[in-house]
Amino acid sequence: MIVLLMSQATNGLGAGWEEVRAAEETRKRQGKHEDRSLTDVEGVLNDWNPEVMGTEKEGDMVFGQPFVVKHRDDNGVRGGRRLRNEEEEAAAATATTADHPPTSSPILSTQRRLASITEMIHVASLLHDDVIDSSPLRRNSPSAPAQFGNKLSILSGDFLLGRASVALARLGNNEVVELLATVIANLVEGEVLQLKSPIEGMTSAGPSDEAFELYMRKTYLKTASLMAKSARAAAILGGCGHGPNAWVKEAAYAYGRNLGIAFQLIDDMLDFLPPSPTLGKPSLGADLSLGLTTAPSLFAWRTNPSLGPLIARKFSAPGDVELARELVGSSDGLERTRELAARFAGAARDALERFPEGEAKEALVGLTRKVVERVA
């Protein structure tokens, strides 16, 4: 849904839209593309990626900071990249939604394929997650491991990733291939990061900023990366990859990243609330039973140090899960988690500010409210 709505909202904004639309089938057959690597774009391929941890400036913690679309500064730098020439700079600085009337441009076949690829990666991650978490249920139905066993579930996930990779290559856009390929790596990196105990960042008063940072990095890698990079890829396929309207792909990325983090924060909050049949959470305290320390526990830990020992042993002792729920429920952990989610959801809406009005934009804005209102 995010990919298709973003495609509909951004198609027609890029200077290359007509060319992209007309040359779609030819491009697909011939594969004539300029190799545009994204590895030099700070904050996209390597956003909150463990391999670049430690490269931040001293004291520059990014916990709780939504991704903001940067505009031109005094040095002529916009979105972390220097504009290629003064003509582009002027065009970017003056571009407004008035330049682009509401569009009803069709969704390209490449964008529809991108939506399928994104969902294949998503489903593959769920198949693997249910094995890792030993989850008996998925959306109130028996999970794949419960129904077919771990081996077939893992192989099914691997098969989907393989098919997604083939379909991705056939899109014929190097920038999009690189984006989605890093998503697959991010999913694995997030799982590995989740294995680290927050107790490593504990202070006498509770979790340090590094413990929150670890949690937020994991949240980006496991959830938000797929939404962010697939939304960005949709804009690129629609002709907004380069030129004066490259801000569109930056905005698409910011939207997906902030929406994904808001979604996961609320999802982690739901683990402490009574299960809802419509939301599909497996059970009350499911994350705690897996030994996972999420935002509500981290916030509560800061005001109640007695949570520390429970977190250190990953809620493994009898009664730990129930006690942790009680301690978190009596703290401001749930409310602070919801406030942080609302902050990220607001940043996602802000990212859409320069998009032309239309049903697609309205639906994207609606999603930012829906993810938070799940606990309203």
The pLDDT of residue 282 is 56
How many other C-beta atoms lie within 10 A of the C-beta of residue 333? 25
Q: Which of 262, 237, 312 is nearest to 67 (CA)?
A: 262
Residue 85 DSSP one-character state: S
Token digits for 16? 């290359």
User: Residue 12's domain is classified under what CATH number?
Assistant: 1.10.600.10
Measured in whole angstroms, the distance separating CA 187 from the mean position of its chain's CA atoms is: 10
- Which amino acid is present at 66? P
pLDDT per residue over 146-187, tens digit each? 999 999 999 999 999 999 999 999 888 999 999 999 999 999
Specify the 3-state DSSP secondary structure of 142: strand
pLDDT range class, residue 36, cuts 50, 70, 90: very low
Neighbours of 85 (CB within 10 A): 9
Query: What tens digit of pLDDT does each residue of 284-315 get?
Result: 788 898 889 999 999 999 889 889 889 888 89
Q: Is residue 60 part of a domain?
A: no
What is the Cα–Cα distance from 118 to 181, expressed in whole angstroms?
11
Residue type, 173: N
User: How much is the pLDDT for 64?
Assistant: 55
Residue 27 in domain? no
- Contact by Cβ (8 Å): 144, 128: no
d(CA 319, CA 133): 20
Residue labelled with tokens 């042993």: 313
Among candidates 93, 113, 95, 347, which has minimal Cα distance to 233? Answer: 113
Cα 296 from chain centre: 19
Of residues 51 and 251, more confidently modeled: 251
Structure-token pair, residue 93: 């600085």
Mean pLDDT to the nearest integer, 98-123: 79
Specify the higher pLDDT residue, 16 or 332. Answer: 332
Nearest CA to 298 among 272, 319, 322, 280? 272
> What is the rounded distance in angstroms from the CA atom of residue 132 to the CA atom of residue 129?
5
Q: pLDDT at residue 202 above 70?
A: no
What is the pLDDT at residue 332? 94
Alpha-carbon span 312 to 223, nearest angstrom: 24
Residue 304 covered by a domain = yes
Which residue range(s) make up the domain with 173?
A: 2-20+108-373
Please report whether residue 63 resides in a domain. Answer: no
Q: Are 284 and 271 in contact (CB under 8 A)?
A: yes
Strands 77-78, 81-82: pairing is antiparallel
Structural domain includes residue 368: yes
Examine residue 210 and state whether it is found in any structural domain, yes or no.
yes
Tokens of 273: 């609330």
89 pLDDT above the threshold of 60 = no
Assigned domain for 332 exists: yes
Percent of the chain with pLDDT over 70: 74
The DSSP H or E segment spanning 202 is strand 202-203
Helices (H), the chain: 2-10, 17-22, 24-30, 86-94, 109-132, 144-148, 150-170, 174-194, 209-219, 225-235, 247-270, 286-289, 295-303, 307-312, 320-329, 333-351, 359-373
Domain annotation covers residue 168? yes
Domains contained in the chain, number:
1
Euclidean distance between CA atoms 376 and 369, whole angstroms: 10
pTM summary value: 0.81
